[in-house]
Structure 1
Amino acid sequence: MANQLEGFNFEQRHGKARVRVARVWRNRSDDNHFMVEWNVSISLLSDCVNSYVRDDNSDIVATDTMKNTVYAKAKECSEQLSAENFAILLASHFTSVYKQVTTAIVKIVEKPWERVHIDGQPHEHGFKLGCEKHTTEVTVQKSGVLKLTSGIEGLSVLKTTKSGFEGFIRDRYTALPETRERILATEVTASWRQHPRESTLLHRAIFGCEKALANTFFGPPKEGVYSPSVQSTLFQMAKAVLNRFPDISSIQLKMPNLHFLPVNISSKENTIVKFDDDVYLPTDEPHGSIEASLSRFWSKM
């Protein structure tokens, strides 16, 4: 929060970052276990200027207290809940319990533990680590105003054909050849602004958005869909999410173009390896950086 101090504008916040917590729920009716692993970061906007300028810490919520609150609130959650609802619970606690706190921002990254299947059957208490991480950021003001952003990171997708790049600006520094046949690979980071809902619905929305993004990237299983650029595919993916989920007001996508370079090896005497859409050098540095956001007209990004 901003203050004027000694002729300067002063803004400050404090919090606790990277608080790791795992929570297991045991369903006694069918012996199934459910678990999550969360990495929680908390940031408080509060009236504690005196701690900066007068050596007075009486208005500070200790960051160790914030850490302990994460574990205590996880313990209190006897019923399974989503990362979004846990973030709302934490943020609401800090704004309601401490009069000095005007706004609480809680970020959670959920590690992708998935239930194991053995011989086609879901295991009651076995889990394996997946790929895509589920993210959420909640901002709660003391007035009760709430903003919720959900997302995924680390969604790695690749298709070996149906991708090209043509018609771009060429000048004396351009060496890239035009093509209608290339590998398209990226690692999607997506975040979307949505209305806070019941825990189960929020959980389903994560998988629904991920499915919409992936299906749009790949296209139908037999014929696929042609991508004239990462930019074009990104826009179609963002539009698919907004069209499917009316309560999502905006979405931001980051999609680096992870290059697979054609391998040609030749000498003066002969060609050792001739590229024929088959042998590539995978690279992730340097990579193209493409990102954009799409929002409804009534949305405030």
Structure 2
Amino acid sequence: MADEMIDGLRFEQRHGKERVRVARVWRNEDGRHTIVEWSVGISLLSDCVAAYVFDDNSDIVATDTMKNTVFVKAKECSEQISVEDFAIGLAKHFTSVYQQVTTAIIKIVEKPWERVYIDGQPHEHGFKLGSEKHTTEVILKKSGALQVTSGVEGLAVLKTTKSGFEGFIRDKYTALPDTRERILATEVTASWRYPFESLSSVPPKPLYFTERYLDVKKVLVDTFFGPPKEGVYSPSVQSTLYHMAKAVLGRFPDILSIRLKMPNLHFLPVNLSSKDNPAIVKFNDDVYLPTDEPHGSIEASLGRFRIKDVEAAAQVG
């Protein structure tokens, strides 16, 4: 936040606009349509202390103006654009047009509209709502210093076998048995940071970020499940999370670091019994009680040590 000393006190402030919803449709000459729907959050760090202290709004960028800017900039996108490039464009506008603004922070969540297929054929203008969401955060300073982070939210995955958990700490409060056979289910939230440090270092390739988002998502999913026939064994959510993160960094030299959050959504074995009937239903790896409250919470990040090495590798690739 912008940090000031006022009357001997430390004062921090920022202002912006949240949940600006905008949809953009592109109509190609061949008749095919494309649509995106974004929820945009804007936060500006600016020199507008007078508005707080002296009732002087002359340095304020109105939040309504921010909202209108989102619509105008969406209109100006004559060609399909990635959510990251749109966020970069917004940040560039606010830091260049307004002298008072020192930093723009743009966060966008893209709603997952997917093209429908009818009789195996892609529909020209029909879409259905998917599940996981594409996210981005762009931080741009007036100096030109840039930080771009992308991510995915709500990536729900489950496998019915090839998962276990054993050898953990046991004490007088431990009731969980060791197992090498359980359902593994989670809803992945991932965010990864690119090494680009200025506007000029961002790849000019159209939809570069969109393609990378799809690539990363595929690597995460493929690593979680393993080969289609034999799968891959998971000794813990922690182990699977690490291998997913490592696979992303190993596959993409243009990703500096990745953070994964993977709650353990439990499928509890069902064993029903009573005093008179000790085996009403006996679990045999077939009947479960799904529950996500409470659930285990596992989160970690993995990153490279030297940014310059990553940038050099990205240029070579």
Same fold (TM over 0.5): yes
Q: Is the 8 A contact 2:108 2:137 kept in 1?
A: yes
Amino acid corresponding to residue 231 of structure 2 in structure 1? G
Aligned counterpart, 2:251? 244
CA–CA distance in structure 1, aligned partners of residues 206 and 234 of structure 2: 36
Q: CA deviation at 1:200?
A: 1.8
- Whether 1:283 and 2:291 are equivalent positions in the alignment is yes
**Structure 1 residues 127-156: Cα deviation after superposition (integer angstroms, max 9, x where no partner):** 000011000000110011111000100000
Could you say which residue in structure 2 is the equivalent of 1:297?
Answer: 305
Per the alignment, residue 17 of structure 1 pairs with 18
State percent identity of aligned pairs.
Answer: 76
SS of the residue 1:89 aligns to: helix
Do the aligned residues in 2 keep the contact of 1:162 with 1:224 (CA within 8 Å)?
yes
Separation in structure 2 between the aligned mates of residue 60 and residue 40 of structure 1, nearest angstrom: 20
Write the deviation string for residues 27-59 of structure 1: whole angstroms up to 9, x where unpaired: 01x100011000000000000000011110000
User: 1:258 aligned to 248, 257, 265, which one?
Assistant: 265
Please tell me the residue identity of whatever aligns with 2:147.
K
CA apart distance, 1:199: 3.4
TM-score (norm 2): 0.93
Is contact 1:252–1:292 with CA below 8 Å preserved after alignment?
A: yes
Match of 2:107 in 1: 107
Q: 1:226 pairs with 201, 210, 233, which one?
A: 233
Q: CA deviation at 1:269?
A: 2.1
The separation in 2 between residues aligned to 1:242 and 1:167, in whole angstroms, is 29
Aligned to 1:185: 185
Query: Map of 1:38-187 to 2, 5 A cutoff?
Result: 38-187=38-187
Structure 1, unmatched stretches of 5+, are: none
Aligned residue-pair number = 299
Q: Matched residues in 1 for 2:67 and 2:84: separation?
A: 18
Structure 1 residues 42-91: Cα deviation after superposition (integer angstroms, max 9, x where no partner): 00000000001111000000000000000011011111100000000000
Match of 1:293, SS state, is strand
The AA in structure 2 aligned to 1:297 is F
Whether the 8 Å CA contact 1:85–1:199 is kept in 2: the answer is no
- Give distance in 1, aligned partners of 2:171 and 2:306: 41
CA shift, 1:299, in A, is: 4.3
**Any idea what SS the aligned residue of 1:286 has?**
strand
State whether residues 18 and 41 of structure 1, in contact with CA within 8 Å, keep that contact through their aligned partners in structure 2: yes
Normalising by structure 1, we get a TM-score of: 0.98
Q: Partners in 1 of 2:91 and 2:239 — Cα distance?
A: 38
Residue type of the partner of 1:280?
Y
CA contact (8 A) 2:115 2:122 kept: yes
Tell me how far apart the structure 1 counterparts of residues 192 and 61 of structure 2 sit (CA, whole Å): 30
Aligned to 2:37: 37
Q: Which runs of 4 or more aligned residues in structure 1 lie more than 3 Å from their structure 2 counterparts after TM superposition?
A: none
